[in-house]
Amino acid sequence: MPVPSQIIVLVGLMGSGKSRIGKELARLLNLPFIDADREIEKAATYTISEIFERFGEKEFRRGEKEVMLRLLSGDAKVLASGGGAFIQPEIKALIKQKAISVWLKANLETLVNRTSRSNRRPLLQVKNPAERLRQLMEERYPTYAEADITVVTDQQKPQDTAWLIKTELDRLGQDKETDT
């Protein structure tokens, strides 16, 4: 059975591939793709870096919550969340209630490689970004592990990971059918 019309939320650390894989998955499922960070920037009319710089992380988290709550009460879509969204208890609870969550799990080397190509992530503008990512893995991986589906993204092309997620979503849909 194909996946029912749903909100699919991709969660995971910076550099785990949420946007690239999300776009591929949206194409496969014929759903719109939405990037939560871009929606936050649109709503604030500032970039993520500017929000952190001018207003601080606490205000960013407030805006992130507002935008995520709006996106989660809308139509079916593939939604790439910012790395900290699923860590906010209120956002996580709503994702659990309204969406299917997919954790894109990656190892430290992958995350360091993928994030070193850009300087648009305020949390990584530190002396030792690899150490910061390692700390975030330690803090956040137990929470990401609560997602409905986990896929490891290290050695795979975004298209292949998207196919894998689709297979897992189909399986989840079938399990739900047999439960009822």
Q: Which residues lie near ligand S3P (CB under 6 A)?
A: 14, 18, 37, 48, 82-84, 121-123
How many Å separate Cα 177 from the centre of its chain? 26
Nearer to ligand S3P by C-beta: 10 or 100? 10
Helix/strand/coil percentages in the chain, nearest 5: 60, 15, 30
Nearer to ligand S3P by C-beta: 122 or 173? 122
C-beta of 162: minimal distance to ligand S3P in Å? 17
Cα distances from 44 to residues 23, 39, 54, 117, in angstroms, run: 23, 9, 12, 25
Nearer to ligand S3P by C-beta: 12 or 149? 12
- Closest alpha carbon to 11 in 81, 77, 98: 81
C-beta of 2: minimal distance to ligand S3P in Å? 28
- Closest alpha carbon to 125 in 36, 41, 68, 48: 48
Distance between CA 34 and CA 81 in Å, rounded?
Answer: 9
Nearer to ligand S3P by C-beta: 28 or 123? 123
Nearer to ligand S3P by C-beta: 14 or 106? 14
Strand partners of residue 151: 104
C-beta of 123: minimal distance to ligand S3P in Å? 5
Distance between CA 68 and CA 86 in Å, rounded?
Answer: 10
C-beta of 133: minimal distance to ligand S3P in Å? 10
C-beta of 57: minimal distance to ligand S3P in Å? 8
